[in-house]
Each structure stands twice: as structure tokens, then as C-alpha cells.
Amino acid sequence: MATDSDKNHADKNSQQQTANASDVSSDSVSLNDMATHLQSLEKKLASQPDINQEHVNRIRDAITSGEYRIDPQSVAEKLLNTDKDEQ
């Protein structure tokens, strides 16, 4: 059988739980300027095509016409720099 003390204790626990629940529901999130900027960039990126077809066409045309030149020294340097970045 519950005593008056038990009922008071239960009422206090109930009030505390209600207070805690209201604290949780009043929480809010605000984004700082950097997060807002990142979201904007993400939206712009998502709207861009995966392949820049114009760029592909220019390179294809340059290869076909023999105008596309590869500098082996530059390729070697970039490969070495990539290897250094990974370490």
C-alpha cells in the first residue's frame, strides 16, 4: 500500500520528468556562417553534372587533331608529388 510519502515522491519524480521533457523539446540548433556556406556549396555541387562534357570534347578534339601534347617531365613530377602527399 502506498503511503503519503510515496505519493509525494512519485509526484516529484513525475514533475521532474515533465520538466526534463520540456527542456528537451525546447532545444534548438543554429548553424554558423561556415555551415550555412558549406550547405550552399553542397547544393551547387549537387546541381553540377558529373562530367564536364565541354572539357571532354575540347580534349578529344585536341587529341584527334594532334594538338594535345603530353609533357613527360610534368607528369613525372606530379606523380612524385602525389606519392609524397600520401605519405
81 close to 75: Cβ distance less than 8 angstroms: no
Within a domain: 59: yes
- The segment with the largest mean pLDDT, out of 1-15, 26-40, 43-57, is 43-57
Q: Confirm whether 67 is domain-assigned.
A: yes
**Span 36-55, average pLDDT:** 90
What one-character-per-residue DSSP string does 18-87 give? Answer: HHHHHHHHT------HHHHHHHHHHHHHHHS-SS-HHHHHHHHHHHHHT-----HHHHHHHHHHHHHHH-
Considering the domain boundaries, does residue 25 fall inside one? no
In a domain? residue 32 = no
Domain count, the chain: 1
Q: What is the helix (H) or strand (E) element at residue 2, kind and residue range?
A: none
**What pLDDT is stored for residue 58 in this prediction?**
96
Q: Is residue 17 part of a domain?
A: no
Q: For residue 10, is pLDDT > 90? A: no
In a domain, 40, yes or no: no
74 domain residue, yes or no:
yes
Would you tell me how many other CB atoms lie within 10 Å of the CB of residue 41?
Answer: 10
For residue 56, the enclosing domain spans 51-87
2 in any annotated domain:
no
Q: What is the pTM of this model?
A: 0.36
